[in-house]
Structure 1
Amino acid sequence: MKKILFFIFTKSIGAYINTLSFVFPRKASQLAYAFFSEPREGKLSKTNLPEILQEAQSETFKNGEHSFHTYTWKGNDTVILLVHGWESNASRWENLLPYLKESGSTIIAIDGPAHGLSSGKEFNIPQYAEFIHVAVQKFKPQYLIGHSIGGKTCLYYQSVYQNDMLKKMVILGAPSDFKIILNNYITLLSLNSKISKSLEAHYLNNFKLSLEQFSSKTFASKINTKGLIAHDIDDTVVLFEEGKKIAEAWENVIFIETKGLGHSMHDDELYKKVSDFLFKADN
């Protein structure tokens, strides 16, 4: 029943946007982008934070007209920055934290735009990368770990900012081709070609990148930092082939294929491998 209702809802929204595009094309485009870029889950309340985040030291940073939130589990001078994915927040790292804490490292987790306790309604990768850059300047991490679209943001960040302080990056279940994500959204709502072209133009005009250029494999090809990519063959949210595309473009990377983890990638064995990759000298 829920699937039927969701189908009716999405197709109704798409039909409304399509109709609007013939009368008020600009408004229709804005509405289509708003539905695409506004997360419906992942927000947090200061009065009801997950316990794992209550244990951390919280800080809020300004970035232009927006603010973003970080959580610090204090350790030694080795610093790890964690970057969550779509419709999530910093608490998604709860299962990984014990493995990272064993190293004694200081661990920083960030809430992305329009997620967690960070401000805004719109999520986009360039803005998320700006948040990362501010956090990097403040905390100076040597290691960067990202999941899903957060992993893609890490790749975008490093390809743009070329941070020499970063020793290693870990990317879990990240998408490569942004065009696939956008086309899936267009198909879901059955949006017409006018709206489709306007969405593509939005990325070109605002982020100075075509959809073909806005891909993780392109970002990875510009990165010299040593990396580890893990992707699950049973991932139905971001297909396994996406992870392989990134790995093939990244010169200095280890690729791990997992099975049965889905998109969340929560797994003790995998987290041990991540920890070994970060902290063992031969990696």
Structure 2
Amino acid sequence: MNRPIGLKENTKKVKQNHHKAPISIRIIQSTIKTLEQVAPKIATFIAFRLFSTPIRYKMPERENFAHQTAHKSTLKIGGLPVCTYRWGHPADPIVLFMHGWSGRGTQVAGYLGPLLEAGYQVISVDAPAHGQSGGKTTNILEVAQVVDYLGRHYPIEAAIGHSFGGVALHYSIRNAILFSKLVTISSPMESDFILMDFIGKIGGTPSLAQRIRTFVRDKFSLDFDSVAPMFPHPWPAHPDWLIIHDEDDRDVPASQASKAKEHPMGPEIVLTNGLGHYRILRDDHVIHTIIDWLRR
């Protein structure tokens, strides 16, 4: 079901950015273009390395309180130290938050007050190669392994994931129902979109995309097309699923959310306006919409 959120302050269109790509991106594009012609195997290796390497952005001031008030611990999962954050009373039901690519666990900051007031405790993590966790590169298998570990060691009631975090949460429940409610925010639904969006950014060709698929299959025994939510999968049991996406999202277009109308899990789809890919994560109305849905 589609249910737009209509708030006056949220109707301002996201500004279009017509500036040239940064010089570093143009150098990458030029390098990939040349290597595809003269050394396609090297182009594939470099492209996959770029695809697997998140950027560790500095934590903004608005997340300081979340960082300072969290009970922090480090877990060893898959051989890597994973930084975890926990807020709230240990007896309260748990909501797990999973950040997106190049994000961090403290991005849950806007949710803490409302979730704690609603009677939940919150667990968040820095995914491998993100924030204060170990590793320089990562992939959906490693992130899903973190989710699986948390789901098996903590009684998680619901999970909220932003962008890639939503994809990882969805992927993690294919073989086990780790929580009863799932919320994905601004998440892509198709693996082909994920890969071709990246290929476009680095100036690659469809042939490079196919070589990356082959590389992933050979290295991880994984069908790349299987990682995103719309990959056909039997769902004899599954959590309730809420999708929230902004119609002005320039990173992952809202058409991706629309793909999920045909998903056998039958998600509820809520569309917003004027929030883009990142502000939607901090919007008060979106936060309270999610909490109201969790409490049904």
TM normalised by structure 2 equals 0.83
Q: 1:202 deviation in Å?
A: 2.1
Partner of 1:213: 226
| 1:110-167: CA deviation from partner (whole Å, max 9, x where unpaired) | 11121111111113111100011112222221111111110111110112x322x512
Secondary structure of the corresponding residue to residue 251 of structure 2: coil
Are 1:4 and 2:20 counterparts? yes
Q: Which 5+ residue runs of structure 1 have no aligned equivalent?
A: none
TM-superposed deviation, 1:40: 1.9
- Relative to structure 1, the CA distance from residue 4 to residue 256 in structure 2 (aligned partners, 3 Å threshold; closer, same or farther) is closer
Contact 2:241 2:265 in 1 (8 A): no
Structure 1 residue 207: Cα displacement: 4.0
Q: After the TM superposition, which parts of structure 1 deviate over 6 Å for at least 4 consecutive aligned residues?
A: none
Q: What residue number does 1:65 align with?
A: 79
- The one-letter code sitting in structure 2 at the alignment partner of 1:157 is S
C-alpha deviations, 1:22-54, integer Å up to 9, x for none?
Answer: 66544332211111221123466xxxx833112
Counterpart of 2:189 (choices 161, 165, 176) is 176
| 1:102 pairs with one of 99, 117, 126 | 117
CA–CA distance in 1 between the matches of 2:275 and 2:287?
12
Is contact 1:217–1:250 with CA below 8 Å preserved after alignment? no
- Kept after mapping to 1: 8 A contact 2:93/2:155: no
Matched residue SS, 1:153: helix
2 CA distance for matches of 1:175 and 1:206?
24
Equivalent-residue separation in structure 1 for 2:165 and 2:95 (angstroms): 14
1:255 to 245, 269, 278: 269
Task: Note the C-alpha offset of 1:249.
Answer: 0.3
Deviation at 1:193, TM superposition (A): 5.2
Deviates more, 1:15-24 or 1:240-249: 15-24
> Which residue of structure 1 aligns with residue 146 of structure 2?
131
Match of 2:10?
Answer: none
Report Cα offsets for 1:51-91 as digits up to 9, x if no partner: 31120111111123312111000323311111000111011
| TM-score normalised per structure 1 | 0.87
Q: How many percent identity over aligned positions?
A: 28
RMSD: 2.5
Greater RCO, 1 or 2 (C-alpha within 8 Å, sep 6+)? 2
Aligned to 1:142: 157
2:255 is aligned to: 241
Determine if contact 1:79/1:141 at 8 Å carries over to the other structure. yes
